[in-house]
Amino acid sequence: MAESVVRVCAQSEIAPDSVKAYEVGDRRLAVFNLGGQYYVTDDECTHASASLADGMLEDGVIECSLHFGAFDVKTGEVKAPPCSFALRTYKVVLQGDDIYVDVDKNAAGEAA
């Protein structure tokens, strides 16, 4: 595996249709389980310093608990103000029960 690919957690730690935050090196990441598909983003809202893992997850959209801005979990696209900057996504790599991310690539597999 490339040096840019790091383990985040076990798939079994993330209940279906939920989110959980993890410290990975100097990053705080949010791991989402949407019907058995896993997505990883930065955990911090791009509008204000708040954990997205503390927010409300519904239909693939995470709503920040601080000012209720929202993002598409799969793409990082802003879905509701006051957020105006997209959320950083990461390429997910599954191996066994483990969830890894490539910190150099976004969810689409493109260089970040």
Distance (Å, rounded) from C-alpha 109 to C-alpha 48? Answer: 27
> Which pLDDT score is estimated for 102?
96
* pTM reported for the whole predicted model: 0.95
> Which pLDDT score is estimated for 65?
93
Backbone angles phi, psi at 12, to 5 degrees: -65, -15
For residue 95, the surrounding DSSP H or E stretch is strand 89-95
Spatial CA neighbour of 43 closest among 59, 26, 82: 26
Take residue 90 and report the two structure tokens written for it.
Answer: 């990461």
The domains of the chain, with CATH numbers, are: 5-102 (2.102.10.10)
Residue type, 76: G
Reported as a pLDDT band with limits 50, 70 and 90, residue 3 is: confident
List, for residues 32-78, the tens digit of each pLDDT value: 999 999 999 999 999 988 999 999 999 999 999 999 999 999 999 99
Take residue 93 and report the two structure tokens written for it.
Answer: 């790599």
